[in-house]
Each structure stands twice: as structure tokens, then as C-alpha cells.
Chain A
Amino acid sequence: DQQVKQNSPSLSVQEGRISILNCDYTNSMFDYFLWYKKYPAEGPTFLISISSIKDKNEDGRFTVFLNKSAKHLSLHIVPSQPGDSAVYFCAASASNQGGKLIFGQGTELSVKP
């Protein structure tokens, strides 16, 4: 039972355009959501997070949107840069379940010059 799903295994975007990565979840107990970026042979790097009491959080070029009724979140990167090319993981946790992260399968983003 996959509680966090990233249905697009890959995404290709032109430099300067917007990248939109999507994530769906099933567990209504999740109250904290994070996006991580991962390069090959490295550990995941934290990008941005959002609490379930908010519907939007912005940090520079990165914005995360949360739609609790649809159990959906998305990461917007604008403008996209070639250095953004990596695998992006969506993760969710529930504060009453120990805070362990449940990850999606990842989306590989390729930003072309």
C-alpha cells in the first residue's frame, strides 16, 4: 500500500520555464510534508516543507502547494535552471506516528538549456 505517490517518474523542462512536480497521499494523519532533492551517489537534500495548517509555502524559486481536501501537493520551481536537474522526492510524516518519513518513488527532473 503506497501511502505517498509520485505518478510521474520523469519530467523534462526547458531552462527558464516552470517545473511542476506532483505528489498524492492517502493517509489523512499526515500533517507535515517535505520535498527533497537527490543527486546520484549523494543523500537527499532538504528543499522545502509545509505544515498541514498551511496551503502554500514559498522559498525563493521554490513554492510548495498543499490541497488537503484532494490529498495532493505540488512543488513549483520557477524559473527552472539546469542545476535543478535531479531526482525529487516527496515525503510525508505524522506527528503522532513518530515523525518517520514516508517517501514517494521520486520524479527525475531534467532541465534543458
Chain B
Amino acid sequence: GAGVSQSPSNKVTEKGKDVELRCDPISGHTALYWYRQSLGQGLEFLIYFQGNSAPDKSGLPSDRFSAERTGGSVSTLTIQRTQQEDSAVYLCASSFRRTGDTDTQYFGPGTRLTVL
């Protein structure tokens, strides 16, 4: 079946503009995660959605970052008033995770964001 998809694959924006990144998880997966990888860095957790529970936003670096997950499926990560340090690859992952369980997360190809 189809894997996790993300759009756009590349986004170049000017400092101060808002951007929206989209993630379509694997059908039937209940959990959805956002991570980012800055140049030369490892992957950093941003936010996590599990079913209808309140999202875990503990990894969001500032209040300029927000995310939604509509209808338990598609998710949008929004970055307001982008800064150059926001430049990174933003990765989405999904899994079958049930609360209190552990499982394997499957990643999309990522969106490369460049803030000029």
C-alpha cells in the first residue's frame, strides 16, 4: 500500500512569511509524528498526535510552530513568521501505536524548507 506522503517536497520562502507543510499518513495509522532534521543534526521530535487525544507539543521550538490533524488523518504543520534557523528537512511519520504501547514509525520523504 501507499506509504507516508508529504508535500511540498521543497519549499523556499522569505524570512517573515508563513508556510504550511502537509502530511498524509499511512491509511489506518492512528499515531502521527512530526520531526525535523537541521543541517548536520540528528532528527528532532516536534509534535505527536494519537487518535483523539490532545497532541504532545513538547518538542515545538517556539509558539510560531503549530500543527493540526484533521479527521484523524491528514496533518498540517504551520510555521509563522519564518526565520532562517527554521531551515531544515521536516519529516512526518505514522504508526499503528496504541496508547501505552510501542511500535514502529514509518517516515515520509520529508519537506526541505529553505528560509532566505
Task: State the A residues within 8 Å of B (CB).
Answer: 31-32, 34, 36, 41-46, 49, 51, 89, 91, 93, 95-96, 98-106
Contact = CB atoms under 8 A, between A and B. Distances in A.
B104 A96 contact: no
Contacts, number: 68
B31 to A, nearest CB: 7
A104 to B, nearest CB: 6
Interface residues of B, number: 30
Contacts of A106: 42
B107 A44 contact: yes
Nearest to A106: B42
B33 interface: yes
B85 interface: no
B43 A100 contact: no
A63 to B, nearest CB: 17
